[in-house]
Every structure is written in structure tokens, then in C-alpha cells.
Amino acid sequence: MEVPRPPPALGGGCRRVLTALLLLVSTVDGAGTGRTEAATLSATKIPVSPDCGKPQQLNRIVGGQDSTDAEWPWVVSIQKNGTHHCAGSLLTNRWVVTAAHCFKGNLNKPSLFSVLLGAWQLENPGPRSQEFSERILPICLPDSSVHFPPNTDCWIAGWGSIREGAPLPHPQILQKLKVPIIHSDICSRLYWRGSGQETITEDMLCAGYLEGQRDACLGDSGGPLMCQVDGAWLLAGIISWGEGCAERNRPGVYTSLPAHRSWVERVVQGVQLRGRSPGTGARGEWLPGRRALLGRGHRGRRQLPGCK
């Protein structure tokens, strides 16, 4: 997965748009799509969700960049006028979290957007159920016991470009990539703009490879940064921005979910939190993912006007 991302504007409103989260409340029909509305709407009482963060089918293509069907059952395609636009993560049977910049200029036009659940190949989504299934499950949020220290291996997934200017080819299979967490001090130096202005803020995480070549890309924005703790996948961050796709010393920048956890809990009814089991240590038990991909996912690194 490769993702061109715009650096946030210094001191301006553009950075706030790029790094903010957007929650969508969705009513899903039998085809697995749903009309979306902004998170200012209140959710109705919902039934108990299945256990979060645990795919029902655990097969993997080890070493490949294609994911397998139902490997990431919480990853959704947010479509604009029927075409993939951004990704998101399912939190409950009514709520999806994504990047706010995916809706820049269109927040008052919800009819343009739909949410495709349970997809693997975008061009062959197949029949989908309205209810939870092995292909449609929520991801967990990390509780306060979980930290994501540098060098933690996490994963991203999306249907974004495989490199700048190269859309994901037919049949558009969901891509996956292992990315290690990068120390915030290192990332801050790499994106330093001078004049005492911090580009990497406390609500951001950096992950990826300093040598480049593996990354998220255009169309991956809003998708999950996922880390496995005690056998469950937790949503550590949201694909947000960067400079170019997989460029040297330009790792991916993600909105940190722990930094916004309290807000999400207040808004979303039924979201599930998970943490470390007793005895696994101060930072939980980190289970490494599979082999990294050679491609990149399209994160929220789109070149937005005025975001230079």
C-alpha cells in the first residue's frame, strides 16, 4: 500500500481537518451498504455486539500483500457516488470511525456517501448480511492499560493506490502491510518545519519505514492502524497524512485513538475496549503480525488545496 499524504498546514485550520476523527452512524441494508450521517446524531439503543477484534477466519497468505477474505472484518469502504473514496473501521453495528478530511467540503452532503461492509474484493463484494457475520465484526478500542511503544509491530489495511498515480488493480483485493511504531521524537525531527512549530502533535502516532518503499497511499485515508494485544486486534490509530507515498524519511502519520478514546466513548454506545491481561507486563503482551508487504496502502495523504 502506498499513500501520498499532505503535510498538515502550520498553525492553520487545515491541520485540524486532517488529523480529526469523524464518526459515522450508519443504517445498513441487506446489500451491506449504508447511508451515512455525521456523528452529531445520537445512536439508538443497540444489541450487544459480538466479541471485538477477533476474526472468525484466521487463515493468512504469509508474505503476500493481499489479505484473505474475512481477515479484517471491521475494515469498511467509504464510497462517494458509488466509488471507493476512503476507508474506515467498524466500532459497533451502527458506528464507523474514519478521517474527517475524507469529507472535506461535503459534510452537508451525506447523500453522496455510502458505507460498504464485509468487502474483500471491491469489484466482487458478493452478498452481504445486515447482521454481524464472519465478514462483518467490530474492532476493539485500547483501554488505558495499553501503550504502543516504539518498534511495536502493527498493521494497516486498505484499498488505496499501490504507488502514486497507480490505483489498486482488478479485482481490488484489500491490501495489508505490517508497520512498526516509530518514536515520536524521531518522527518530529523528520517532519520539523522550524520556527518552533510542531508538526507532529501529541494526538498523532507515526509508523512505517524510514527507508521508504512500504507505506499507505491515496485512498487508504481513514483506515485502521491495528495492533494485536492478548489475542485481540485494537484500533491504535487512523490513517491520516504524510508526504508522498513511501518516500525515504517520510513515514506515515496517524491520528492516535488513545488520545481520543474518551471522546469516542462518550459518543458511541456499545464500543468495546480491551487491554492487557493480568501478568502480561506494564505494556501488555505484544503479538507480532505477519510478514510486511512490498506495496503500500493509501492513507489520508491526499494533496488538499491549501495544505502545504
Mean pLDDT, residues 1-25 taken together:
47
pLDDT of residue 48: 54
Q: How confident is the model at residue 101 (pLDDT cuts 50, 70, 90)?
A: very high
185 φ, ψ to 5°? -65, -40
- Which whole-number Å values give the CA distances from 261 to 95, 223, 306, in the listed order? 14, 17, 29
Mean pLDDT, residues 130-153 taken together:
92
Mean pLDDT, residues 234-254 taken together:
93
Which residues in the chain belong to E strands, given as ranges?
21-28, 33-38, 75-80, 83-90, 95-99, 113-116, 141-142, 153-158, 175-182, 204-207, 224-229, 232-241, 252-256, 273-274
Q: Which of the pair, 140 or 213, is modelled with greater confidence?
A: 140
Q: Is 90 exceeded by the pLDDT of residue 117?
A: yes
Question: Does residue 253 form part of some domain?
Answer: yes
Question: Cell numbers of 264, please?
Answer: 469516542
Whole-number mean pLDDT of the chain? Answer: 77
Q: Is 90 exceeded by the pLDDT of residue 130?
A: no
Question: Does residue 125 form part of some domain?
Answer: yes
Question: Does residue 5 form part of some domain?
Answer: no
Question: Does residue 291 form part of some domain?
Answer: no
How far is 228 from 235, CA to CA, in rounded Å? 9
Question: Does residue 279 form part of some domain?
Answer: no
Residues in contact with 102: Cβ distance below 8 Å, sequence separation at least 6, in sequence order: 22, 78, 85, 86, 221, 222, 300
Question: Does residue 79 form part of some domain?
Answer: yes
pLDDT digits (tens, 9 = 90+) for 252-302: 999 999 999 999 999 998 999 998 876 554 333 333 332 222 223 334 443
pLDDT digits (tens, 9 = 90+) for 145-196: 999 999 999 999 999 998 888 889 899 999 999 999 999 999 999 998 776 6
Question: Does residue 261 form part of some domain?
Answer: yes
How far is 281 from 262, CA to CA, in rounded Å? 24
Cα-Cα end-to-end distance for the chain:
23
Question: Does residue 27 form part of some domain?
Answer: yes
pTM of this structure: 0.78
Q: Which of 2-11, 198-207, 232-241 has the lowest mean pLDDT?
A: 2-11
Domain of residue 186, CATH code: 2.40.10.10
Question: Cell numbers of 302, please?
Answer: 491526499
Q: Which of the pair, 206 or 42, is modelled with greater confidence?
A: 206
117 φ, ψ to 5°? -100, 150
Domains held by the chain: number? 1
How far is 239 from 224, CA to CA, in rounded Å? 6
- The domain in which residue 86 lies consists of 13-39+63-274
* Nearest Cα to Cα of residue 1 among 306, 308, 301: 301
pLDDT digits (tens, 9 = 90+) for 42-91: 233 334 568 999 987 544 322 338 998 999 999 999 999 999 999 999 99
pLDDT of residue 207: 96
How far is 156 from 86, CA to CA, in rounded Å? 13
Q: Which of the pair, 194 or 18, is modelled with greater confidence?
A: 194
